[in-house]
Chains A and B, each alone.
Chain A
Amino acid sequence: MTFLKTTVSAAALAALAAGAAQARDEIRIVGSSTVFPYTQAVAEQFSNVTGAPSPIVESTGTGGGMKIFCGGIGEGHPDLTGASRAMKPSEWELCATNGVTDVTEALIGYDGLSIAISRAAPNDWDLTLEQVFLALAAELPTADGWVANPNKKWSDIDASLPDIAILAYGPPPTSGTRDAFVELAMHPGCEARPAMKALKEADKDAHKAAVKEKCSLIRQDGPFVDAGENDNLIVQRLNADPNAMGIFGYSFLYENMDVLKAVNINGVAPSSDSIGDFSYPISRPLYFYVKNAHRGVIPNLQEFIEEYMSDDAMEPGGYLSERGMVVLPDDVRAKTQDAVINGESMAVPQS
C-alpha cells in the first residue's frame, strides 16, 4: 500500500512538472461564437490537407476572445481571435499594454441576424425596425419622456399587423449576437421614433446618451424571452409555437429553411445577396485578428492564414459560404487576401 502510494504520488508530481514545460506545436484560436463555425471549417480543411496538427479552436465570445488574445505575446497566448465586430479602442489599449502591437485585421465576410418564425405560421411577416423596437423595447420615447412599453400584441403597434401576442425568443445579454441585435436593430428602430428625432434636433449629446442607455434596453415583462446561448433550442421552440419569433444568426435559418421562414425587414428577406450588399439591415461584418509576431514562430501559422484567405474558402461557393457566411465582393476580397497574407499591420481603432 505504501509502495503504491509513493509511486502514484511520484507519477502525479512528474506529470505536473512535465505540464509546466510543455511547448506548443499547434495553432490556438479563440474568439466569437459567430466566427467559430467558419474557423472550424478552415481548421479541419487545413489539417486534413496538410497533415499538420489540428488547430485548437475555442469559442469564447468576441469580448472574451479579445481579453485572452491581448494577454500577451508568446506560446501561452493564442495566435488568432475571431470577432463579430471590429476591435474596440479599449481592447487595442489592452493589447498594447501587453506588448501585442503588430496585429493584422482580416475582414472575412458578413453575417446576417435573422428574425425567424415557424413555417406553420399562418401569416407572412414584414416588419420595419421601428416596429421591432416597439415590440421589444423596455421603454418607449414619447414627447413627455420615457414610458414603459405598453404593447402586448402586434396589433397594438400597427393595426395592419395580426392580432397575436408578441413573443420573441432571443439571445441572452452575454451574447455577441445580442449586442449586434441591439446595435443593428434596436438603435435604428429607436432613432426612427418622432420623440427621438426631436431630441436629436434639440440636444445632440442627450440624444446620444439616450440611444446608448434607453434604446438598448430589451423588455423583461414577458414578450421577450431570453432563450440562452443554444440556438437549436430556439429553433425547436419556434416549431412548437407558430406564433413565436426567434432571433439568431443567419446560418441557423439557412440550415433550417424547411421548418422556418424569415421575417422580412423593410420588405427585404435575409439572403446571402441582401446581407452582402446591406439591403437587409441587420447584417454585420466578421473579422479575425492575428498576431504578426507569431508568424514564423508558431509552426504552420502562416500556412493556416493562407488557407483561411484562399479562394477555396473565401470565394462565392467556397466552403465558408457553404456554411452560411456571406462572402466579400470580389475587389474587397482580393485586397484583403493580399493584405492579410503579407501581414499588414492594422491601424489603431478610432471609435
Chain B
Amino acid sequence: MTDLSTQDAPFAGSGSSLMRRRNRRQVMLQGLGLAAISFAALMLFVLIASLVSTGYKAFIQTHITVEVFVDPEEISVEKLPRGGFRDVLLASLQKEFPDVEGRAELRSLQNIFSNGAQFQLRDMVSADQSLIGQTVTLRAPVSDPFDQLAKGLVKRETPEQLRRVSDREIDWFDTLDAAGKISQPVNWGLITNADSRFPELAGLKGALVGSFWALLVCFLISFPLGIGAAIYLEEFAPKNRWSDLIEVNINNLAAVPSVVFGLLALAVFIGWFGMPRSAPIVGGMTLALMTMPTIIIATRAALKAVPPSIREAALGVGASRHQVVFGHVLPLAMPGILTGTIIGLAQALGETAPLLLIGMNAFITSAPTSPFDSATALPTQIFIWADSPERGFVSRTSAAILVLLTFLITMNAVAIYLRSKFERKW
C-alpha cells in the first residue's frame, strides 16, 4: 500500500483494500462506458466522413454551354417532337473543332454531351417553336466520363488505353474549358430528375415522390388504426387473459423482421388482391403493418402517463368515458403519440427489405404521379445505384444516402422538438 492511496481512500485502515477494489471497479466501469461511447462516436464519424468524402462530388455536376443553331433543315415544326437534335448539337461542337472529321471521330466528339442534352434541346424547341431557325444557348450536362475527368476522379496520369476518355478527348475538353464553356453548378438534377441509366442525368425525384406516397399511405393506415387499438386496449378493454394475449402479440409483432412483412404483402396484397407490383400504395400498406405495433406501444405508453386524477376529475363532473378519452386524455397524450408515430415513420422510411420483395426496386425513368404508379423509394434507389457499374453512381450512392440521412435526422429532430415543447410533467 502506497502513501498516495492511503490519502485518497475515504476510510483508511483495515477495510481499505476492499475499498480500493471498489473504487477501481468504479473507475473501470466509467472507463468502459466512456470507451463504448467514444467507439460509437468514432464509427459514426467514420460513416459520415466516408459518405461525405465520396458523396460531395455528386452535389455538383459538370455542364457544357454551347451556342446551338436550330437548323430548320434538321428540325421542322411538322416533325416535332422528332428531329435531328443530335446532329444539331454535334454541328455546334464542330464549329469549335473544324478539323474533326470521320464518323468515329465525330461520334466521340458527340459523346461529350450527355445523352440527355438532345432531349433537353427537344423540349426547349417543342415548348417554343419560334426557336427554329435561331441560335439558342444551351447548358447541358456533360457525359459521365468527362464529368469524372473534371472532378479529378479519372486521373490524367493514367495511361491512355486504360481510361474511358482518350488524350484527344481530354484536349477537346481542355479547349472548351479554356474558352469558358465548362461550368460546375450545383447539381439540382439530383433532386429534380427521375432515375436514369446515365449517372449525369440520374436523380432522386422518383424515389422521393415514391417514398412520400408510401409514407402517406402508411401514415393514413397505421395512425388511426394504431391509436384506435391503443385506446381500446388502454381505456376500455377488460383486463383478462385475452387482452394479455393480445398485448404479448403486439409486442412480438413489433419485433418481427421486416422481410416477413414483405413476404406477407407479396402473397396477400399482390397475390390475392391483385394489386399492382412496385406501387407505393402496396409499399405503404406493407410499411403500415410494420409501423402499427410501434404506434400502438407508443400510444399506450403515452396514455398510461396521463395521471388517473385527470380521468377521475372528468368522470367526477359527469363526463362519459368517451368524453374523458377524447376530451381530456387523448389531447394530453398527443405529444407522446406524435413522437412515437414520427419515429415509427422514420423507421419505415429507411426500410428496404419488404420493398424489394414487392418490386419497388424497379428502374423507372419517370416520377410517379399517384400512389398507384410504379415507383422506387429512397432506400431501394440507393440499392439500385450501389449495384450500377458506371463510376458516376459511386458518388451518387453516397449522396443519396446523405439525402436519406437528412430526412431521418429531420424527422427525429421534429419528434424531439414536439416532445420537449408539448410534453407535460405531473
Contacts and interface: CB of A to CB of B under 8 A. Distances in A.
B359 to A, nearest CB: 5
Q: Is the interface of B mostly helix, strand, loop or mixed?
A: loop
B281 interface: yes
Interface string A35-68: 0110111011001110101101111000000000
B366 A54 contact: yes
A2 interface: yes
Contact of A229 (B82, B359, B387): B387
A15 interface: yes
Given A37-B389, A230-B386, A258-B162, A56 B363 contact: yes
Contact of A56 (B197, B198, B278, B391): B278
B269 to A, nearest CB: 8
A9 interface: yes
A44 B366 CA distance: 10
Contact of A8 (B194, B197, B224): B224
B377 interface: no
Contact of A255 (B81, B224, B390): B390
Interface residues of B, number: 52
A16 B361 CA distance: 22
A48 B330 contact: no
A76 interface: yes
B274 interface: yes
B257 interface: no
B389 A252 contact: yes
A11 B390 CA distance: 42
A122 interface: no
A9 B228 CA distance: 11
Contacts of B371: 15, 19
Given A19-B281, A232-B394, A44 B365 contact: yes
Name the residue in A2, A19, A256, A317 with the highest tally of chain B Cβ atoms < 10 Å from its Cβ. Answer: A19
A119 interface: yes
A20 interface: yes
Given A11-B220, A19-B282, A47 B275 contact: no
B372 interface: yes
Contacts of A119: 162
Interface string A20-41: 1010101010000100110111
A231 B119 CA distance: 31
B363 A5 contact: no
Contacts of A24: 276
A53 B326 CA distance: 47
A44 B197 CA distance: 7
A15 B217 contact: yes
Contacts of B155: 258
A108 B273 CA distance: 35
Interface in A142-158: none
Interface in B282-331: 282, 285, 326, 330
B164 interface: yes
B158 A43 contact: no
Contacts of B113: none
A51 B123 CA distance: 11
Interface string B364-394: 1110000110100000000010111111011
Contacts of B194: 54
A5 B224 contact: yes
Contacts of A249: 389
B362 interface: yes
Contacts of A347: none
A152 B285 CA distance: 51
A12 to B, nearest CB: 5
A18 B372 contact: yes
Contacts of A9: 224
A5 B221 CA distance: 10
B205 interface: no
29 contacts: A8-B220, A8-B224, A9-B224, A11-B220, A12-B221, A15-B220, A16-B281, A16-B285, A18-B372, A20-B274, A22-B275, A36-B363, A43-B363, A44-B196, A44-B198, A53-B366, A56-B362, A56-B364, A76-B276, A232-B388, A232-B394, A252-B389, A254-B389, A255-B164, A257-B164, A258-B162, A317-B107, A323-B197, A324-B389
For the complex of A and B, 6 pairs with smallest distance between CB atoms: A54-B365, A57-B363, A58-B362, A258-B162, A255-B389, A56-B374
Given A43-B363, A44-B198, A58-B278, 6 more contacts: A2-B326, A8-B224, A19-B275, A44-B197, A232-B389, A258-B164
